[in-house]
Amino acid sequence: MWDVSVIEDASAAAASLDPVRARLLAELAAGPASAAMLAPRVGLPRQKVNYHLKTLERHGLVELAGERRKGNVTERLMRATAASYVISPLALAPVEPDPDRFRDQLSARWLLALAARLVRDVGALITGATRARKRLATYALDAEVRFADAAARAAFVEELTRGVSALVAKYHDAEAPGGREHRVVLALHPALGQPPPRSAALGEAAPPGGPAQRAPEPPDSPREMPRETGPGAGPRARDPQDRKTEEDLREQ
């Protein structure tokens, strides 16, 4: 079982988004089970559960883990093919975000488009590497930083931009034979509070007495962030909604 798998097919994405099937995927990620075992857990007849399992199996989201005899019946034990799933923007290819349509470092929507492309590209690379039985060389860094104020955040971004631009200029070799291009994506956004428990996302009630969810803090005005610099800088098409956000912040 993979830690995470990417769903690129639109029909597979639709199948996984069904609430009952999403619940079944969660149950089978915890361990193999048959339709008869799953039926009381999800409150459905065994025949209905078996129908959903066949749909998930057809889309490669679950697979046969084994069989066992129970009286005169042979039960099929199914398991999820991954512990979790990510739906690639390829599943919505006609309307998937395209960060090349505009370029604005201060737009949250451009950041979202970049993130969508990251999911799409890395998902495709994982799929190809899995089929070829090869290891995929990637690197990621995840960290949190608490800024004293917006000025400190702007200074951080300015220094980060200069440092990464210098590294790109130092190691980029357009003439190296056998070289391969790599994509570098940097992102900075306000942190959210504790995410809701997984059971809540599956439609189950959250445990009583659970931690209160902290509301996201409003971002500071993007006017304090530095403008785009370095290689590849292009015209900045500001999103009208982002301009409206700045006006709202100024009125507060």
pLDDT score of 130? 86
CATH of 5-85 among 3.50.50.60, 1.10.10.10, 3.40.50.1470, 2.60.40.3500 = 1.10.10.10
Is residue 240 predicted with pLDDT exceeding 50?
no
Q: CA-CA distance, 62 to 99, in Å (whole number)?
A: 33
3-state secondary structure of 201: helix
> Over the stretch 105-155, which tens digit does the pLDDT of each residue have?
889 999 999 999 999 999 999 989 988 999 999 999 999 999 999 999 999
Q: CA-CA distance, 192 to 125, in Å (whole number)?
A: 29
Q: CA-CA distance, 82 to 84, in Å (whole number)?
A: 5
Query: What are the domain boundaries of the chain?
Result: 5-85, 97-171+184-189+216-241
CB 28 within 8 A of CB 62: yes
> Over the stretch 42-101, which tens digit does the pLDDT of each residue have?
999 999 999 999 999 999 999 999 999 888 888 999 999 999 999 999 999 889 888 988
The pTM (predicted TM-score) of the whole model is 0.69
| Stretch (H or E) spanning 62 | strand 62-70
Supply 6's token pair. 């990417």
How large is the average pLDDT for residues 229-252?
A: 42
